[in-house]
Structure 1
Amino acid sequence: MRQRIRVVVQGRSSRRRPTLAHGLWGAAEVTVTLGVVVLLLVVHQLWWTNRQARQDAEHKVQAMEREWEAPAAGLPGPVESPPAPEPAAGGNEASESRDRPAAQHSAPRWDQAYAILRIPRLGVVAPVAQGIGKAGILDKGYVGHYPGTAQPGEAGNFAVAGHRNTHGEPFRHINRLRGGDEVQVETREGVYLYVIDASLAQTSSRDTGVIARVPRSLVKPSAGYGEPGYYLTLTTCTPEFSSKYRLVVWGKLRSMRPR
């Protein structure tokens, strides 16, 4: 009598289980890896770029201050500008602008840091460079001067831009500035004190009116000025971590003195 041997054949579901488990494990590893990469990118953008840019900007400020103090060691001194008279209370701004002596500046080279901008209320101290390029200026933690606009202390509009997030973010909190807050711009020739006067919370990135000689928004004509003067314009991106719109803060020159 022959003995029968039982043969057990596993079903398809049994064969699929190891493959499914391996697939899920592989997907989990990829997800974790991607998460780590994204986290490192965020840390790089939010921490490392700020740290590096702030250090570079601080070193540049110190280098300019040392250079400007060099005449004390017997080197040739800067060309001095006569001090500006204080605006008369209730006076006509247009007539004051014509009477105010013009500041004297040598034309800065492209990407050259040639001024220091200080905002005491925000604790901001940043170099100002000619141009608004990212790689050579803004990403280094500098404030960029819009080409074609006035220089510090000159009649017209001294207009500058700065990052609001990452790369030193010197203009991170300019939305906190209020009327009467001071902004000081220092160059080799002199020190120029501007006082915050108005702001525009949001406008188009193409609103060139805000940096015009007489600044006035083309998008919101009620925001801005109607007479020639000595203006300061600070611009940055808004909302935070976006470059869709622009935030604008304006000031007027109160006084200037030679170095």
Structure 2
Amino acid sequence: MRLVVRTFSELCLTFGTLIVLFVVYVLYWTGVQAGSASAGQIDTLQREWTNTPVTAAPAPRALPYAPGRGIAVMYVPRLGEDWKWPVLEGTGAHVLKKGLGHYTATARLGGTGNFAVAGHRRTYGDPFKDFPRLRAGDAVILTDGTTWFTYRIARAPYRTVPTDVGVVDPVPRPLRKNAAVFDGPGRYLTLTTCDPEWGSSHRLVVWAHLDATLPVADGRPQALESRPQAWGS
């Protein structure tokens, strides 16, 4: 009996240790990995942009983005002064470990249609942890090294199910018709993440429209320099 109790105790301790290590990995180490990977992606993009002459913004190119490659850097002032993440092509698990992911079948940045982007709510740096704080009128700003694109959010986050794929249509068409915010073609942005915070049974979605563009040579957009009212609340 003593041997059985001792063996059971050792198994419990081993199992408990494994659980603690897993929690540390999920809560801490994936964030360290994502921070390093995203910073590396931004550095790579900035080096590429530095070696490319800055000119007036061209029309969006028709060529598809290369899978897994960096496209742009995104800033959302509502989510923090230092919040910035790279946007890469694709939404596979290996891509979302490095930053945000562009849905491959959706429009190019700044182009007509819907430039749709996914990101983790939790783990891998928690890029969209504060997604529910987003509000109508908030700016989402992206740059591809040549142009600043400022989008404005049209409504507070919309909660839906993973099968509601119409949210990333060229003109977003959610299952709940009364949730639609656009009624015709335009230059749109969609952001998606999981809900609840530590689950994936649902999705949170925000839609935005292109509000302004600015050549990088002309400086930074005003929306990037000003904090939203009640920032951080």
Category of TM-score, reference length = shorter chain? 0.7 to 0.9
Aligned to 2:152: 195
Amino acid at match of 1:139: K
Q: Deviations over 1:196-250 (max 9, x none)?
A: 11144421101111001111212x1111222222111000111112111111011
- Normalising by structure 2, we get a TM-score of 0.85
Aligned to 2:36: 55
Larger radius of gyration: 1
* Native 8 Å contact 2:135 2:157 kept in 1: no
Aligned with residue 91 of structure 2, among 132, 141, 148: 132
Aligned with residue 77 of structure 2, among 110, 120, 138: 120
Is the alpha carbon distance of 1:240 and 1:249 closer, same or farther for their aligned partners in structure 2, counting shifts above 3 Å? Answer: same
Aligned to 1:109: 66
Amino acid at match of 1:252: H
Residues in 2 aligned to 1:172 and 1:200: alpha-carbon distance in whole angstroms: 13
Aligned with residue 215 of structure 1, among 154, 172, 190: 172
- Normalising by structure 1, we get a TM-score of 0.77
Amino acid at match of 2:56: E
The RMSD of aligned alpha carbons is: 1.7
Number of aligned positions between the proteins: 213
Residues in 1 aligned to 2:211 and 2:62: alpha-carbon distance in whole angstroms: 19
Structure 2: tracts of 5 or more residues without a match: 217-233
Amino acid at match of 1:51: V
| 1:33 counterpart = 2:9 | no
Structure 1: tracts of 5 or more residues without a match: 1-19, 72-76, 83-101
Runs of 4+ with deviation above 6 angstroms: none
Amino acid at match of 1:46: L
1:64 Cα deviation after fit: 1.3
Aligned to 1:23: 4
Aligned to 1:228: 185
